[in-house]
Amino acid sequence: MAATILINRLTGAGPTQTNITSVNTRGSTSDNPYTTETTNPIPIPTAGTNFSYWLVTQLNCTALPTGTVDAIKWYTDGTNSFGTGVACKVATANVYDQAGGTTGTTGTELTVANYGNGTTDLDGAPVDAFGKTSAAPLSVTGSVTSAGSTGLFADRVVYQYGVISTASPGTTIQETISWQYDET
């Protein structure tokens, strides 16, 4: 039987898991899994950068494979269509760390020093998400097998939006993020 794999967004201290497999999820200046509302947008600063709270996502196996799910990849289409002054950074993490910041203003910047234990919980420095394409995806460590158990598996993919003073006001267009894995 084929595995059933969902994409979950993790928020809060618990964390709370929200299935975002077939919906839009928004970056904002709060730690909530918004899908359709526009609460707490990222304000355009007069100087510097305002950040979204980081978005932590992880795969969730709800039906085990007959073999193995592995070779997990994450990527974008390679084009930042958000417009001038809006960026997105991404990294993988081996633990969950709740996003923080000042609600309504800015999130804490996603860096190795700011995430988790400040040294090894983020697997490396965040990079431009739009540099991760189907030809050069972000590799995500982890797998699940028929002998395993259902639930969250593999490293988390953590991403964050940054907005600078040259950004245009209003809602940005949607971007598509893709996950890929092998099932044998």
Which of these, 14, 41, 13, lies nearest to 26 by C-alpha position?
Answer: 41
Note the pTM of the prediction, 2 decimals: 0.95
Q: What's 87's DSSP letter?
A: E
DSSP string of 9-20, one letter each residue: EEETTTTEEEE-
* In the chain, domain spans: 4-183
Question: Could you give the angle at the alpha carbon of 9 between the alpha carbons of 123 and 51, nearest 5°?
Answer: 70
Strands 55-63 and 151-164, how do they pair? antiparallel
pLDDT tens, per residue, the chain with 184 residues:
799 999 999 999 989 999 999 988 899 999 988 777 688 999 999 999 999 999 999 999 999 999 999 999 999 999 999 999 999 999 999 999 999 999 999 999 999 999 999 999 999 999 999 999 999 999 999 999 999 999 999 999 999 999 999 999 998 999 999 999 999 9
